[in-house]
Amino acid sequence: MHVGTSQVLSNKLKEEIWSHKDEVDTIIGYILEGDGHHGSYKRLARITDGFGHRVSGSEALEDSIDFVMAEMEAEGFTNVHGEDFQMPNWQRGEDSCELIEPRRVKMPLLASGSSISTPLGGITAEVVVVRSFDELADLDRSETEGKIVVYNQPYEGYGTSTAYRGHGATKASEKGAVAALVRSITQFSVNSPHTGQQYYQEGVEDIPTGCITVEDAEMLWRMQESGQSMVIHLDMTSLTDGMMTTRNLVGDLEGTSFPDEYVVVGGHLDSWDVGTGAMDDGGGCAISWEAMVIIKKLGLTPKRTLRTVLWSAEEQGLLGGVAYYEQNQDLVPNVSIMMESDSGTFRPLGIGFSGSDEARAIMREILDMTSALNATQLGSEGSSPDTGDWVRAGVPGGNLINQNDDYFIFHHSEGDRMTVQDADEMDLCTALWTSVAYVVADLDELLPREDNSRK
C-alpha cells in the first residue's frame, strides 16, 4: 500500500538528499545499460546452478556460504566472516503417501519441517477430511481417533492459510489422530506439493505431518462428500538428530566517515530442499550482494558502512535472524536502516518502510529520485522475517515491494528455480535497492527515530 507523509523536511536536508541525484542516475544507468547489466541475475545463477537447494544443515548451504565469502574477499570487502549459531538438525527422509481405498493412487508428499517419522512399516489408517480448524473442533473424538486428518482448507492468503501447516498436526493430535496431511499453501497448483515448517506443542503428542497437493486434497474431500470411505498408507522417515552448527554470513563495504554506523541489506541464503531457492530467497541475497559490488565498482564512497548479511535457517523459524540480532544487538543505536528482500525480486514497485515520520519523509525524497524505475511506492510496513527484532527495537526497516502476485505458486516447491526469475526485472530491483541503500548510507545523519533506541 502506498502511504504518504505530511512531515515537512528542511530545505537543507532536501538539498542534501537531492545532491545524490547524479550518483543515483549513475547507478541506474550502470545496471540497466552498462557493465552491471544482468549482474544480479548472473550472480544468482552461479549460486542456484552451482549448489542447488540450500536447506539449513546441508553441505550445499555450507559450501555456498564458503563460496560467497571467498568471492566477497576477492572483491575487496572487509570484515567478511560467518557467525555461528545452533539449530535443530532435522533431516528429510523418504516420503511416501498412497491412497489404498477406494482405489489405489500414489499421492505426492513432502514432510513438513521438523516432522517426526512414521513408525517402522508406516501408518495405514482411515481418513477424515476437514476444511477448517472449526470443522475439526466440531467433530466428536470418535470420528478422528486413530485416523489421518486431511486439511482441505481454502487458500485465503499465505498469512492465514499457513496456520494449517504450522499447527495442523498439533490440533489433529489433540483429537486423537495418528497423522495430519495439509493441502499445500498456494493459490494455483500443477500437482506439486509445497513444503514448509511446522511446530509441535509441548504437552501434545507429536504425530507425523506433511503437505499434499491441492488436487489430492480436493479429491479426498469429494470422495468423502460422496460417502466413500478412504484409507491411506503413509511412510515417512524424517528425523531430528540433535543440534548442529550453521552460520550467518556478513560482509562490509567500510564507510569513510562513520565506519561504525551501518546500512544493512540482505536476504536469507538457506532454502527448502526442493527447487533451488532462486526466488525464496536467492534473489534477495543476489540484489543485496550486488548492491555492494556496484557501489564499490563505481567508486562511490558512502559515509557509513554498507553491510550485507545473508541469513541462514530462516526457513526453520527465523533462527538465523534471531541469532544475528542476539549476537549484534549492541549495534541497535548505530544502524540507520535494516533492509531485507524476502518476498520476490519481480518487477519492483517501491520500498516498504517502518520508521519515524521524519525518516519516512526522507525515504519519500529518495524514492522520488528513482522515478526512472517507476518504483516509487512507499509502503507502510518495512519489517521482514529476519529484521523483525531490529525493527521492534526501534531500528528503521525497509523491504522490497514488487509485483509478486505469483510468488506462492512457486514458493517452497520444485518450481522455485531460475526459470521463475527475469533478468531485466532483477536489474530494476537491484537499481532500486542499491540506490536507496547508497543514499541512506551517505547522509550526514542516521535516519531519525522517535524512540530512545539510540540513548
CA distances to 34, 350, 436 from 430, in Å: 13, 12, 10
**CA 444 – CA 455 distance, rounded (Å):** 19
Q: With contact defined as beta carbons under 8 Å apart, do 250 and 82 qualify?
A: yes
Tell me the C-alpha distance between 330 and 322, whole Å: 14
314 has catalytic annotation: yes
Computed over its alpha carbons, how large is the radius of gyration of the chain? Answer: 24
CA 131 → CA 125, 167, 178, 196, distances in Å?
Answer: 19, 14, 18, 19
Name the catalytic one among 62, 261, 314, 425: 314
Omega before 193 cis (within 30°)? no
Residues that are catalytic = 314
